[in-house]
Amino acid sequence: MAEILVINLTRMGDIVQTSPLLQGLRQQHPDAHIALLVIDAFRGVAQQIPAVDEVLVYEQDESVSRLMAPGWTFGDAVIWHRNFVRALGQRSWDLVINLTHSHDSALLSQLVARGEIRGLSVHRTGQRDIKHDWVKYFFNVTANRGFNSFNLVDIYRRIGNLPKGVGQALCLEPGDEARRWAADLPLDGPGPLVMLQLGASRDNRRWPLESFARCARILAEECGARFLLCGTQKEMPLAASLMSLAPELVYHDLSGQTNLAQLSALCTRADLLISNDTGTMHIAAAMGTPVVSLFLATALPEETAAYLPGTLVLQPRIACSPCSHHVECPHINCRDWITPAAVAAAARMQLDGSVPETWPDAERVHVFRCERDAEGFQTLVPLLQEQLSPEAIFSLCYRRLWKTELRAGVREPLALSLVDELAGLRARLAVAPDPALLLHRCNQAREILDDVIQLAGEGHALTGEVALDLSNTAPS
């Protein structure tokens, strides 16, 4: 029986986004033993993934607390970690997939693997070793995120060598106890129940509470919406502040009162979730709850939008969005570009299918719907007027290039040509590009690519000269 270890020592949302990969591995290796290694804080979500036979936990909090504990030396900490690695390494892992991009996880994958490694590892020389084409793509595209059009779930799926139709959905099962708990909550009433996730991993990615309050008022007035508040204990003050901003609305406040299994089950009681880019958004998508998601600051919807067809994404129509992870914005104006009226319109579209004749504040916001393309990859379809920019053309060209070239382990025929994809994008745009302008921009792009090809040739020649010089140099 094959033994497969997937390492994901990251955040809650990333673990949920790993579930299609794990489901696909289960489909391809039905008799394998599949283990998932996570940090202790997210054990509860990892245990909900049906394809996982065993959840292994790296006690990150304990390891830090022991370092700080009186009487513990650095040597004690080294021994504690050595014992953890030794116990893990005694297993016969035929395949290790490391989805964590840290030196610690790279070293761990190298130490415990007995067979193939995919992801970040360590070469015997001590240098990092990136194994698998799609992992190399992800490492390199992070410096040019604006040109990435692949959802993280699809990148994970390709690292698993999963073809179209295999591992195509997020999947969580919270269990009977959590489902009974959620079913027994007194949440029934007139009007739709709209779940609100007010917090985010960073404050700059959090839509203002005042905007949530105004949006909630619109939905209460237009369709009699009631509101279900979720979140961690640290987010309880956000819920209290929202209720003080709009005290006349109907609330069910469960912030700080759920574990991760209960949060998953709670999502099934809601008619809709309105959320920042959060782990809760991915959990709701895994449970099949319609989502309106707000992508602010560094959040990139092409990369982390909820992997659920029909999900709506709102992003500020501002030149600097999304901002770089390496920039500290002094004003975070993007949070005010997404207006309460625009979010309420998206919510109504999810709740009852009503599409506004004129989208409110369309000049301030992008609105996308998540769909699947003909090859099974998630794509964002614009719902408002968009111009076909040179950046969009480049992104589409890159998307076709990487689909064609990065096909390790997946040899299925491609369903679309670049011309097909470009025509499909143009058909979805409300404002058709001027043909002369489009031709001019394509010619500009071709000139740039010609320069890149020339520089690549020069670089190849120079590296050849270096290699020749090194081979002719006698060791001292």
Cα separation of 111 and 292, whole Å?
42
- Tell me: pLDDT of 463 over 90: yes
Any idea which of 193-197, 269-273, 472-476 has the lowest mean pLDDT? Answer: 472-476
Q: What is the pLDDT of residue 332?
A: 72
- Tell me: pLDDT of 84 over 90: no
- Tell me: pLDDT of 285 over 90: yes
Query: pLDDT per residue over 229-283, tens digit each?
Result: 999 999 999 999 999 999 999 999 999 999 999 999 999 999 999 999 999 999 9
Q: What is the pLDDT of residue 428?
A: 59
Which residues have CB under 8 Å from 473's CB, separation 6+? Answer: none
- Tell me: pLDDT of 63 over 70: no
Q: Identify whether 322 is preceded by a cis peptide bond (ω within 30 of 0).
A: yes
DSSP 376: S
Q: What is the average per-residue pLDDT within 16-40?
A: 97
- Tell me: pLDDT of 132 over 90: yes
Q: What is the pLDDT of residue 244?
A: 98
User: What are the strands, taking DSSP E only, across 373-410?
Assistant: 378-382
Cα separation of 98 and 58, whole Å?
14
| Dihedral Cα 136, 141, 42, 6, nearest 10 deg | -10
Using pLDDT thresholds of 50, 70 and 90, give the confidence band for residue 80.
confident
Highest mean pLDDT among 245-259, 347-361, 392-406: 245-259
Cα separation of 283 and 197, whole Å?
12
Using pLDDT thresholds of 50, 70 and 90, give the confidence band for residue 71.
confident
Mean per-residue pLDDT over the chain, rounded: 89
Q: What is the pLDDT of residue 427?
A: 60
Q: What is the average per-residue pLDDT within 215-232?
A: 97
CATH architecture of 3-159: 3-Layer(aba) Sandwich (3.40)
Cα angle, residue 128 at apex, residues 122 and 133 outer, rounded to 5°? 100
% of the chain residues with pLDDT over 90: 62
- Tell me: pLDDT of 349 over 60: yes
Using pLDDT thresholds of 50, 70 and 90, give the confidence band for residue 412.
low
Superfamily of domain 176-382: Glycogen Phosphorylase B; (3.40.50.2000)
Q: What is the pLDDT of residue 75?
A: 77
Using pLDDT thresholds of 50, 70 and 90, give the confidence band for residue 169.
very high
Q: Give the helix/strand (H/E) hosting 457.
A: helix 435-472
Cα separation of 192 and 228, whole Å?
10
Beta bridge partners of 7: 37, 98
- Tell me: pLDDT of 431 over 60: no
Q: What is the pLDDT of residue 444?
A: 82
Cα separation of 371 and 420, whole Å?
16
* Length of the chain (residues): 476
Using pLDDT thresholds of 50, 70 and 90, give the confidence band for residue 474.
low
Longest dimension (CA), the chain: 84
Using pLDDT thresholds of 50, 70 and 90, give the confidence band for residue 39.
very high
- Tell me: pLDDT of 387 over 80: no
pLDDT, greater one: 70 or 158: 158
% of the chain residues with pLDDT over 70: 89
Beta bridge partners of 120: 130
Q: What is the pLDDT of residue 207?
A: 96
Q: Is 176 exposed, middle or buried (0-12, 13-18, 19+ CB in 10 A)?
A: exposed
Question: Where in the chain do CATH 3.40.50.2000 domains reside?
Answer: 3-159, 176-382
- Tell me: pLDDT of 475 over 60: no
